[in-house]
């Protein structure tokens, strides 16, 4: 774990890195933006949790796995671009991202995990792809602004 680097505002993850470990950047309070390269294939559990200044994340195009609670508690997170190869949104992956306005769930996602978007109070519109065979318990609980959920194409 990188111990709450107080002055790091942006992380550009280079091509030599293939995975971001569990809690790797958890609690980096000044982190505002993360951009991942093509080499990243997995993001560990709680990798960026509680990065309260994080507002923008571009997940690498080859990421197939994002761990449990990877971005939970990122209260300023408004923009997330998920890769087309992603299969599962793990438990609580975006829990407590209170400023998350919208999410484009890739057409390859088969499971939306428990509490995935719980307490995302600004989330207003969700399109769940045809590929999703499971939307687990409390996936969208306490999404007070959620006005529209659509399933399918």
Walk me through the domains of the chain, giving residue ranges and CATH numbers. Answer: 1-153 (3.80.10.10)
Nearest-angstrom CA–CA distance, 83 and 57? 11
Is residue 1's pLDDT more than 60?
Answer: no
Per-residue pLDDT tens over the stretch 17-59: 999 999 999 999 999 999 898 999 999 999 999 999 999 999 9
This prediction's pTM: 0.92
79-107 exposure pattern, b = at least 16 Cβ within 10 A, e = fewer: ebebbebbebbbbbbbbbbbebeebebbe
């Amino acid at each position: 774990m990188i111990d709450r680097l107080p002055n790091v505002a942006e992380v550009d993850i280079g091509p030599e890195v293939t995975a971001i470990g569990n809690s790797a950047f958890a609690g980096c309070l000044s982190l505002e933006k993360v951009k991942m390269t093509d080499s990243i294939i997995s993001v560990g559990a709680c990798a960026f949790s509680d990065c309260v200044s994080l507002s923008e994340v571009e997940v690498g195009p080859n990421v197939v796995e994002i761990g449990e609670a990877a971005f939970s508690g990122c209260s300023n997170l408004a923009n997330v671009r998920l890769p087309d190869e992603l299969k599962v949104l793990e438990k609580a992956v975006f829990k407590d991202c209170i400023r998350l306005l919208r999410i484009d769930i890739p057409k390859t996602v088969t499971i939306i995990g428990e509490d995935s978007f719980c307490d995302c109070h600004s989330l207003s519109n969700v399109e769940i792809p045809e590929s999703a065979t499971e939307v687990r318990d409390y996936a969208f609980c306490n999404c007070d602004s959620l006005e529209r959920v659509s399933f399918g194409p």
